[in-house]
Amino acid sequence: MTVALAGCGSSGGSSDVTLTFVAADYDVAGGESSKKYWADLTAAFEAENPGIKIDVRIESWNDVDRKVAEMVKADKAPDIAQIGAYADYAASGKLYTADQLLSIPVQSNFLGPLVDAGEQKRVQYGLPFVASTRLLFYNKKLFKEAGIKGEPTTWEELREDAEKLAQNTDVTYPFALPLGPEEAQAETMMWLLSGGDGYVDPVGRYAIDSTQNISTLEWVKTNLVEKELTGPVAPGKLNRKDAFAAFTRGEVGMLNGHPSLMKAAAKANIDLGKVAMPGRTGKPKAAMGVADWIMGFKQNGHKVEIGKFLDFVFDDKNVLDFAGQNDLLPVTISASEAMQKDPEHQDLKEFLQELPTSILPPVGKTSWAAVSESVKQNIGKAVAPEGDPQTVLRQISQKATTAENAE
């Protein structure tokens, strides 16, 4: 499938229009499932809308954001992109708003946290495509060997369970803490939320060095890292993919995981348990949610046709088909309710329950990319033996505030 790099000219109607569409490849095994999904969906759409054609180009996640950026820079923006971020395009006035594209029933069907994350200055530009939450995963076999009978519901219980794992099993990582540069911003956010705060304050401004956040990382450093419960690799050098691989080898007692790890663990015959990430004294403020985005570009003037296609994309059947085949969560209320009732997806039940109250990273800020990178590169230092959480968080926060003020 190829993409035409320019549209067929502006059109206010719905005849003789070709929409260019760049989408990400979700098939981690290198197969054709994403290509087949979009081929089937666009064929069905074109059959119902004979005046509109969809040219689809599937790109790997390693390349798709960069390639769309190159197209936009060359004044050859696609009509639709399904990628990881929308904020820069929204801020530069290149995107249609959600209410310019979608019918009212479709727009009102998105889950609340995903709508909030798709907004820039209270206007929605990013349309959530698929979503996920994070839970605490644990190895049931190792828990049994360590004599642990329940699941941790507080930080203190988590520490006690990690100590039992260290003392009574040969586990390599009682609690794997991946604060390496691959995905440290996500692991950090899970802990900040479980400590009662997060990256931003209630009005949406960065508050990375809040008292609660400092206290959270001090607890992690003192109770997990300094007690040698996080394994032989320093958290600042442990990447998520390596932690996940170690979990599938049976070397990890506990870690924060997402749905795709379930399938890998099952293939490796790991008996996996999952529970909401414990809070300081009980249930945390919220789970961390994440989403990938789909958006409509203004350049070719195909607002009506883009809207028709996106209304079709967000039909429950299409939403459920894609989420189900990729072990991800649907982004609409109706599809989420349908998945919860489906026995085939009972392994996603705990994730689905957390999503409606989850909190996503501040992806609507154009500064977030730089702030996220700063967290990735520096947060591991906060829990290092010579590290100081307050100093590290303050340095990251100062850079974040400067970037935010420049938006």
Q: Which domains occur in the chain, in start order?
A: 17-133+290-357 (3.40.190.10), 135-286+367-405 (3.40.190.10)
pLDDT at 38: 97
Per residue in 334-352, pLDDT (tens digit) is 999 999 999 999 999 999 9
Query: In the structure, what pLDDT confidence band is assigned to residue 2 with cuts at 50, 70 and 90?
Result: very low
What the block records as the tokens of 240 is 């998520």
**CA–CA separation, 396 and 374 (whole Å):** 6
Nearest Cα to 171, choosing from 230, 238, 222? 230
Of 23-27, 52-56, 86-90, 396-400, least confident by mean pLDDT is: 23-27
CB 168 within 8 A of CB 367: no
Over residues 38-49, mean pLDDT? 97
DSSP secondary structure letters along 242-296: HHHHHHHTT-EEEEEE-HHHHHHHHHTT--EEEEPPPBSSSS-S--BEEEEEEEE
Amino acid sitting at position 233: V
pLDDT reported for residue 147:
98
Question: What is the predicted pLDDT for the residue at 407?
Answer: 84
Q: Indicate the pTM of the whole model.
A: 0.90
Helix (H) or strand (E) holding 246: helix 240-248
Average pLDDT over residues 170-177: 98
pLDDT digits (tens, 9 = 90+) for 105-152: 999 999 999 999 999 999 999 999 999 999 999 999 999 999 999 999
Does the pLDDT at position 28 exceed 70? no
- Alpha-carbon span 110 to 97, nearest angstrom: 15
pLDDT grade for 1, boundaries at 50, 70 and 90:
very low
Count the alpha carbons within 13 Å of 120 in the hemisphere toward its beta carbon.
Answer: 25
End-to-end CA distance of the chain: 38
What average pLDDT does the segment 353-365 reach? 95
In DSSP terms, 17 is beta-bridged to 52
Please provide the average confidence, as pLDDT, over all residues in the chain.
93
- Nearest to residue 227, comparing CAs of 177, 296, 271, 263? 177
Task: Tell me the β-bridge partners of 139.
Answer: 272
Per-residue model confidence (pLDDT) at position 5: 32
Q: Residue 16: what residue type?
A: D
397 or 14: which carries more pLDDT confidence?
A: 397
pLDDT of residue 14: 42
Residue 292 token pair: 């990938």
Burial class (CB in 10 A: 0-12, 13-18, 19+), 73: exposed
Residue 137 neighbours by CB under 8 Å, 6+ apart: 247, 254, 255, 256, 257, 261, 265, 272, 273, 274
Q: What are the backbone angles phi and psi of residue 277, rounded to the nearest 5°?
A: -55, 125
How much is the pLDDT for 9?
A: 37
Tokens of 204: 């949406």
Task: Report the distance separating Cα 29 and Cα 37, nearest Å.
Answer: 15
With CA atoms as reference, report the closest residue to 98 among 76, 75, 72, 120. 120
Q: Where is 181: in which H helix or E strand? A: none
Would you state the pLDDT for residue 15? 57
Alpha-carbon distance 193 to 248, whole Å?
A: 26
Q: Are 100 and 304 in contact (CB under 8 A)?
A: no
Residue of 255 and 30 predicted with greater confidence: 255
Is 135 strand, coil or helix? strand
Residues 306, 299: contact at Cβ < 8 Å? no
